[in-house]
Amino acid sequence: MINDEANPFPRWMAIGLVAALLVLVVGDTWFYRSQKQAVQRAAEEQLSSIGRLKADQIAAWRAERLADAAVMTESPFFAQGVARFLADPSSANAQPFLFRFRSLKTHYTDILLVDPQGNVILSLSGKTQMPEGQMTALAAALHERKPVLTDLYLGAQTPGPYIQAIAPIFAGAEPHGRPLGAVVLLSDATRFLFPLIQTWPTRSKTAETLLIRRDGQDVLFLNDLRHQSDTALKLRIPLSRTNVPSVMAVLGRQGVFQGTDYRGAKVLSVILPVPDSPWFMVAKQDTAEVFAEWHVRSLEILALFLAMAGALAAIGSVTWQRHKKAQYRRLYLSEARQRESERKFRLLFENMTTGFALHEMIYDADGRPLDYRFIEINPAFEKLTGARARDLIGRTVKEAMPKTEQHWIDTYGKVALTGEAISFESYSQEIGRYFEARAFSPAKDTFAVVFSDITERKRAEQSIAAKNKELEQIIYAASHDLRSPLVNVDGYGRELAYALEAVQGAMAVGNASPDSVATAVRAALPEMTSALGYIRNSTRQMDALLKGLLKLSRLGRAALSIGPLDMNRLVARVLASFEFAVKQAGVSLRVSDLPPCEGDEVQLTQVFANLVDNALKFLDPARPGIIRISGAIEHGQARYCVEDNGIGIAPEAQATIFELFHRLDPSGPEGEGLGLTLVRQILGRLGGRIQVESRPGEGSRFHVTLPCATLKQ
C-alpha cells in the first residue's frame, strides 16, 4: 500500500514525467534534425534535377551543331555542288550555298566555305579569313573524315567566345574521296549557348550554372558568371583549392557536394560531366539562401517544444490528482485484465494468418550454435508449410528436417545470442512458395520466426518486371528504329527544298531566259528525284515498323481460351501447313510423342509455326536439313524442344533474339523481326517460357515450357 504522507508525489510518476520530458527533448531534437535534413534533401534533389536538365540541354545543343554539320558532310548532293563551285566559282553556282547558309542563320553567327588549307572561298558575312587558331580543328576534321566541334575560344577582334562546327566535304564515295574543303559553322556562345546555361527555372538570388574544363593545373571558367562579370575563358582557379566545387569536378568527382565557390561563399552544388565533351557543369546555390526558410522554421519548432513542455507539466499535475482515485480500481481490475489479455493473445495466436514458431537454441561445448528445438508453433505455420505441430514440437530441426543447412542454424544462433532481429525473404523449393520472414529473440537463447506467404506478390512483381521490359523495348523501337527513317525524310526533304530554292533563284532573276531556267531545272532534277526516292523508301520502312508494333499490341489484347491440348495433333497440323516448304528444302522431319499441356490452341499454333518457320529459314546449305520436335514431362511441367541443324546462333546474339524488331541477319530472309518476340509474349500470357541453346555451325534448340495437363479419355 502507498503511504501518501511519506511520498506525496509517487516516485514512479516523477520518473515518468522526467522520462516523458527526456523523450520530448530527444523527439524534438530528432524532429529538428530530420526537418533540417529534409530541407537539405529537397534542395539537393531540386539542384540535381536542374543540374541534369542543364547538362542534357548543353549536350543536346552540341549534338545539334554536329548534326547540322553531319547533314552537309554526308550529303552527296552538297559535295557535288561544292565540286561544281570550285570548278566554276560563279554567282549561279554560289547561289545554292548562300540559300542554304541563310536557312541556318538563326543558329549561327557566320557560315564559311573553306578549302583544305583554310582559305575562305565563300562566306555568309563576306569574311575572307578563317577564324584564327582553328586550323588544327580543320585538319582533324579532314583527317578523321567526320564533323568536329571545336572548344570555346575568344576572337582577337570580336568579343566572343565562339565555338565552331566543322563539316569536312569530300569528292567521290567514302572512304577514299578527295577532300574538297569544309563548311565552318561559327556560333557566338553569348547569343546561343550562354543564355541556355544562365537561365534558372526557379526564383533565386544566388543560384547559377558554371561551365568549366581543365586547363593544365587550373580550372578554366567557360561562361560569364552571375556574381562576377567578364569571366568567360579568363577566370582560372588552381587545382590546389580542392574545397571549390569547380575543382572537384575536373578532379573526377560527381554528385552533390558542399564547398566554397569562386567568391569564397559557402554553396550547395551538383557536379555533372557534359556528355560527349571535355566540359563539366556545376549548378550551385548559396547555402545561406537554401536554409533561409529553415531558420524561421527552427524558431517555430522551439516554440512548439516549449508549448509541449508546458502541456506535459499540466498533464503531470492532472494525473497526480487522478492517481489516488484510480489506484485501487487498477489493482482490482489488474488481474481480470491480465486474464483477458492472455485469452486474447491465445485467440490471436491461434487465428492469425501469419506463421509463428518459437525455438530454443542448442549449443555445443564451445558455445557455438549446434541445433535448435521447436517449442511452439501456431496453426498458420502448419497451413503455410504443410508441417504438423505434433511432428515438430519437442524435436530439433536436424531431427525433423535433416536437410537444413548449417547456415540457417548459425544465422538464428546469432539472433538468439545477440538479440539482433533480422528480416529476409526466402523461397521453398519443396512447395514452390515465397516467404517474407522476421526472426527476433524474445528471451536469451530463444528465437522466434514470424513469416507470411508473399508468393502472389513476388509473381506480380515478376510479371510487372516482364511487362516493363516489353514496354522498354517498344519505347526503344519507337524512339530508335523509327528515328532513322525520320532523319532520312528530314534530311532529304531539306535537300529537296534546297534544290527547289535553286530553281526559284534562277527564275527570280529579272532577265532570266528560258534556257537558263531550263538549265537550273535540269541541274536540280536529279537531286530532287533521288531525294524523293530516299523519302519514299524511308516512309515504307516506317510503315513496316508501325505495322509490327500494331501487331504486337493486338496480340496482347487477344482473348485466351485455356484448356488441355493434344500437342501431337497440334504440331501435326502445323507441320502440314509447311509441307510444300519442307519438300522444296529437302528437310527431314522427326517428331517424337509429345505430352499434353494447358494452353490456348490458336496461340500455341502460332508459337510452333514461328519456331518451325525460323528453323526452315536458317538451314545450313552445306548439309541436308533436319528438324526434330520432342517433348517430356519435367518437374511437373510440359517441356518441348524444336531442334535444327542449321547455321546456329552466335553466343552474343542469343540474349537479344527475343527483343522487339531484332533480326539475326538483316540482309538475310525477309521478316519484321517480330517472330520470337511474339513467341515469348504468347508463352508469358500462358504461364510458360522459352529458352535457346545454340552453337554456330551446329544448329539451335528452342526449349518451350508450359503447364502440363491430362487429356480426357
Q: Return the minimum-mean-pLDDT range out of 313-327, 351-365, 694-708.
A: 313-327
* Within a domain: 589: yes
| Cis-peptide, bond into residue 275, ω within 30° of zero | no
Most confidently modeled range among 30-39, 332-341, 372-381, 531-540? 372-381
pLDDT tens figures, 42-92: 888 888 888 888 888 888 988 998 998 888 888 888 888 888 888 888 888
Are 357 and 449 in contact by the 8 Å Cβ rule? The answer is yes
| Domain end (from 407, 435, 453) | 453
Is residue 384 domain-resident?
Answer: yes
The closest of 215, 277, 228, 267 to 244, measured between CA atoms, is: 267
Q: What one-character DSSP code corresponds to residue 362?
A: E
Question: Is 505 found in the same domain as 417?
Answer: no
Residue 70 in any domain: the answer is no
pLDDT digits 0-9 by tens, 206-227: 888 989 999 899 999 988 888 8
**Are residues 566 and 702 located together in one domain of the fold?**
yes
Query: Considering the chain, what is the average pLDDT of its residues?
Result: 80
C-alpha to C-alpha distance for 231 and 210, rounded to whole angstroms: 11
Q: Which SS3 state, helix, strand or coil, does residue 168 take?
A: strand
Tell me, yes or no, whether 703 and 577 share the same domain: yes
- Spell out the residues 6+ positions from residue 516 whose beta carbon is closer than 8 angstroms to its own: 506, 509
Pair 478, 547 in one domain: yes
Q: Based on the domain organization, do 677 and 627 belong to the same domain? A: yes
Q: Does residue 205 register a pLDDT over 50?
A: yes
Under the banding of pLDDT at 50, 70 and 90, the label for residue 6 is very low
Select from 557, 577, 605 the last residue of a domain: 557
Note whether residue 166 is domain-resident: yes
Hey, is 209 helix, strand or coil? strand
Structural domain total, the chain = 4
284-298, 534-548, 555-569, 617-631, range with greatest mean pLDDT? 617-631
Helices 76-87, 514-557: inter-axial angle, 10-degree rounding: 160
Strand 255-260 to strand 266-273: parallel, antiparallel, or no bridges (unpaired)?
antiparallel
The answer on 401 and 379 residing in a single domain is yes
Give the C-alpha separation, 700 to 614, whole Å. Answer: 10
Are 272 and 280 a contacting pair, CB within 8 Å? yes
Q: pLDDT digit string (tens) for 93-141?
A: 888 878 888 888 888 888 989 989 888 888 887 777 776 667 888 888 8
Name the amino acid, one letter, at 119: N
Answer yes or no: is 187 within a domain: yes
700 and 573 within one domain: yes
Answer whether 636's CB lies under 8 Å from 696's CB: no
CATH of the domain at 475: 1.10.287
Pick from 612, 501, 477, 617: which is nearest to 551 by CA?
Answer: 477
Residues 490 and 543 in one domain: yes
Residue 680 domain boundaries: 562-707
pTM of the full predicted structure? 0.42
- Domain presence at residue 261: no
Which residue, 536, 557, 578, sits at the end of a domain? 557
**CATH code (residue 427):** 3.30.450.20
- What is the CATH classification number for the domain harbouring 657? 3.30.565.10
**Helix, strand, coil percentages, rounded to 5, for the chain:** 50, 20, 30
Task: For residues 535 and 638, state if they share a domain.
Answer: no
> In 645-688, which ranges are E strands?
none
- Verify that 466 and 584 share a domain, yes or no: no
If asked whether residues 546 and 573 sit together in one domain, one would say no
The helix/strand/coil state of 291 is coil
- Shared-domain flag, residues 366 and 399: yes
Q: Judge whether 49 lies within some domain.
A: no
Provide the pLDDT for residue 503. Answer: 73
Residue 184 lies in a domain: yes
Single out the residue of 242, 232, 245, 236 nearest to residue 272, CA to CA. Answer: 245
